[in-house]
Structure 1
Amino acid sequence: MRPPSPADPEAWNAYLAEGNATQPRKRVAADVLIRDESGRVLLVKPTYKPGWDLPGGMAEANEPPHEAAMRELVEELGLELALGGLLVVDWAPPHGPWDDQLCFIFDGGVLDGVRADELRPRDAELSDASFVTAADAQALLRPRLARRLDVAIRALAAGLPEYLYDGTSYSPMAHGF
């Protein structure tokens, strides 16, 4: 059976909606690289999972990643920022009970001393927020996120975003593509 034609908008939209309903969905995480005046990076300590994380969180249905990041900053830290550019997009493969996901890191800029010193968790999802050196962040973060942060810092310096494949720089040859 042939698909309907766009010339019949009702049938065409029903056809597209059926295809949309059967397409896989991707989870989307949107984090922010925020620094203080001495170059330390902001980490947050979630209450709902072990370890430290970058500020940000999961996008809601049909929410753009940058808006998800800004929403999470306001909800969790009371922090309103105009985000800079995209630093990283990382495809994370299925792990544990989770399907794959797309992970974004945006540039959150540098907070002045007063704003950085006054930064505190604002909801029950976080127990702490702290600026740490990049080296200390590497030791505190899960390995995949530590790799992602390292690349985000490099991308910030280079002025170019980077695409990652499971936390490592994408190379078709290295990944067998």
Structure 2
Amino acid sequence: MSGDPGREAYLAEGNARQARKRAAADALIRDHDGRLLLVNPTYKSGWDLPGGMAEGNEAPEDALRRELREELDLAVADLRFLCVDWVGPHGPWDDLLGFVFDAGILSPQQIAELKPSDEEISEHRFFEIPDALTLLPERQRVRAVNAIQVLEDGVPRYLRNGVAL
């Protein structure tokens, strides 16, 4: 802190006027056969990658850990960044930063203990990757495809509306 109350007030005013970004964080979670975990949300049709929206001032990886705990009672320590997608305003929504992290391969014991633990998730299932991709909404599918490519080549990606730059 500078100790100058006028400067602090000026910075606080600027902070209050600056744009706020929505952020979502999803996970690629696999089993030992390479299948991808999807969840079936109760609040919309179709399947999703596990994860969800960040709360105010919450880091994307912390949001993902919280969502996995809340929705699947799954604790994940290690996450590896794979890609981020800036999604421009669409429908009633402002822009969004959509992060995808690698949450690794679950052990058979972890898989046996997985269960929807939140009313937002009706079920979960592992799918072969081509099948999983066909079940995802388009924006999430594009991020998942790019994230899977990062698993293969190790090069993180920045996307803009689903297009790698």
AA in 2 matched with 1:107: D
Q: Distance in 2 between matches of 1:71 and 1:29?
A: 12
Indicate the larger mover: 110-119 or 24-33.
110-119
Q: Which amino acid aligns with 1:15?
A: Y
SS, match of residue 79 in structure 1: coil
Kept in 1, the 8 Å contact 2:2–2:8? The answer is no
Question: TM-score, structure 1 length as denominator?
Answer: 0.89
Match of 1:3 in 2: none
Q: Corresponding residue for 2:105? A: 110
1:148 alignment counterpart? 143
Name the CA shift for 1:8/1:122 in 2 (closer, same or farther; >3 Å): closer
Question: Structure 1: which 5+ runs fail to align?
Answer: 1-5, 171-177
Deviations 1:62-99 (A, max 9, x none): 00110000000000000001133100110011111111
Specify which of 111, 126, 136 is matched with residue 131 of structure 2: 136
Higher relative contact order (CA 8 A, sep 6+): 2
How large is the RMSD of aligned CA atoms in angstroms? 1.3
Decide which of 21, 25, 38 is 1:26's aligned counterpart: 21
Which ranges in structure 2 are unaligned for 5 or more consecutive residues?
none
Aligned to 1:87: 82
- Structure 1 runs (4+) deviating above 4 angstroms are none
2:155 is equivalent to residue 160 of structure 1: yes
Name the TM-score, length of structure 2 as normaliser. 0.95
Q: Does 1:71 align with 2:82?
A: no
For 1:125 and 1:77, how far apart are their aligned partners in 2? 10
| Contact persistence 2:23–2:53 (CA under 8 A) | yes
The residue that corresponds to 1:173 in the other structure is none
Q: Cα offset for 1:8?
A: 6.0
Question: How many pairs were matched up?
Answer: 165
